Amino acid sequence: MLITLMSASSCGSGQDQVAETRVIEQQQSEGKQMAFLQTQPAPDLKGFSLERENLIKRTNLWNDRNKVSYIYLVNYGKVMAFYPLKGKVSSVNSLLTNPERVEYKNGNYSGEFAAAVTSSPAEDGSYGTNGDAIFFFTTDGTYVEWCGDYMLCDKQLKLSTPPAIVYTKDAGTIK
């Protein structure tokens, strides 16, 4: 019985030591951050942030449904295709609904402790991701999805080599 009691107490102390180690490390990290705040405080930006201004400009630029821009789709180090597009480029993983839900104990939302976070179905009733791609609509309304590198510009660029794939709008064909 004494051996059982000693082994049970040693298991608990190991978990306590792990928890205490975590607390000590967190306190050390916090102490270092406090020292950095004293010796190397963040600069006072005087109420203006160029980073925020750039983010605001970018948001306003691309949040225009009538904005015409140009996308160069790149693969194997070459421009594979070039399209004028209307609106913005979006990720196939952008969602209109939350991909997770919190399942509460006893199935109610009365503020009880959450038991687990689980996947929710997407808008179309399916689960999972949509791969790793972007999509956009050309100026004539054609849907294009691309899984690869790209460059997006709000002005057309002069290319030194022609795109490898050419979409002919009038014929509706790809060469």
Q: What is the pLDDT of residue 72?
A: 94
pTM, entire model: 0.62
Residue 165 has pLDDT above 90, yes or no: no
Same domain, 67 and 148: yes
Q: What is the pLDDT of residue 118?
A: 86
Q: What is the pLDDT of residue 2?
A: 41
Range of the domain at 23: 1-42
Same domain, 166 and 140: yes
What would the pLDDT profile of 135-147 be if each residue is shown by its tens digit?
Answer: 999 999 999 999 9
* φ and ψ at residue 85, rounded to 5 degrees: -130, 160
The total number of structural domains in the chain stands at 3
Who has greater pLDDT, 152 or 124? 152
Question: Which of these, 167, 174, 158, lies nearest to 140 by C-alpha position?
Answer: 167
Question: In the predicted model, what is the mean pLDDT of the chain?
Answer: 83
What would the pLDDT profile of 3-48 be if each residue is shown by its tens digit?
Answer: 444 444 445 566 677 778 989 999 999 999 999 999 999 999 999 9
Q: Which two tokens stand for residue 133?
A: 């791609």
Same domain, 79 and 138: yes
Q: What value does the mean pLDDT take over residues 45-74?
A: 94
Residue 86 has pLDDT above 70, yes or no: yes
Same domain, 142 and 86: yes
Same domain, 136 and 174: yes
Same domain, 77 and 110: no
Same domain, 38 and 117: no
Same domain, 115 and 144: no
Q: Print the SS3 string covering 46-96.
A: CCCCHHHHHHHHHHHHHCCCCCEEEEEEEECCEEEEEEEEECCCEECCCCC
Contact 147, 140 (CB under 8 A): no
